[in-house]
Structure 1
Amino acid sequence: HVHECRVTISKSSLLQFFTRIHPATTKRNKPWPLIEIYCLEFLLDFTFYEEGQTNVPKATDAFEVLIQLARCSTANVRILALSVLRNLVFNVTNRPRILTSMDFMNLLHFTLKNGNLSEIGVVGSILWSLIANNQKAKLITRTAGFGQSLQEVLGRLSLDKTPDDAQHRDLAKIIQYVITLLKTSDAKSDVSAE
């Protein structure tokens, strides 16, 4: 995780592997699922840093491939792809592109409706990052119906038989806080999200 290594990776053609791991290209035949996991684990580490957050989106088909992988039937691939997308959202320069992507918004809705607790938690943190201190993002996410989707998640969580689970409680808090952020419109209320 040395800065010089990240810069070298950014300047190299290493990130051009996205077109090779696209599910439409690989048909997800062996050994591709394992290669996808290795690539996503690398990207998860790399996008933790600014160099990764700024350079991964510049790679050919990066967003498209990550969104496709986040829709895969394999839970490990889905959570890794969502986590990489979450890391990309943390960089302000990526937000306009992300906010205008219908595929990305549809992926978030789909995950809120059908995802497991971990996946929903990642989507909650994606939405939190997008809307904190960003009125335009709040308007876009409200208009896209995320308030309703988040309320439905809270409803499902309240009906769940394992409310004593710490992950369950933490997820409910995250979702409730994102709902609160979506409802607020003044800059003062967003300061606590930093």
Structure 2
Amino acid sequence: MTLVTPIYFFLFIIIGTFIEGETVLIASGYIANAYHYEFWLILVLGLIGTLVADQLYFFLGRYCHRHQILPKFIAKRLTKVQSIISNHQNKIIIFFRFLIGFRMIIPFFLGYSNVNTKKFIIIDLISGFIWTLAFIIIGFSISLSIDKLIPAAKSFEYHFLIVFLCLIVFLKSLSFIIKKINKHTPNSQTNIDLQ
């Protein structure tokens, strides 16, 4: 099968994990099995994307702290968060990426606080490896299950993949729109919750 061009697929993994994360890794695992891509190559590309994102947000936080460029009301809130971070540094670095929706903001907080840079990079690498591996295996397993349960699905794999990706885009867009609606109506009782 050559329906998924390798170079575009590899870019999809790196850019996708940089921006989104879990969904992209599950889709990548599915595609890797369906189109017979090397599992370890997918793992390395996913890890590169997620680590680059983490480091970018971490060093952005560090830069903002050193140059005091955040508005005072945000800086005050971050100062309150620093005591929590100081007491639970290792746990936060290990588990932040598993908290959906916090993957960008927590590395920024960690960078803004007094977390040691070397410590962050090392623990983030280990945690990132486990996280990336887990979600790729989920996608891989979904593809294997479909192959075993529905042998005829092989001929419809490409269509299933398109539907799967469209569904993900739809749900993410819907979630984004609902968050915007809730943000603009903070005192309303008509707030929508998609959690």
Q: What TM bracket, shorter-length normalisation?
A: under 0.3
TM-score by length of 2: 0.26
* Greater RCO (CA < 8 Å, at least 6 residues apart): 2
Q: Which has the larger radius of gyration?
A: 2
The TM-score normalised by the length of structure 1 is 0.26
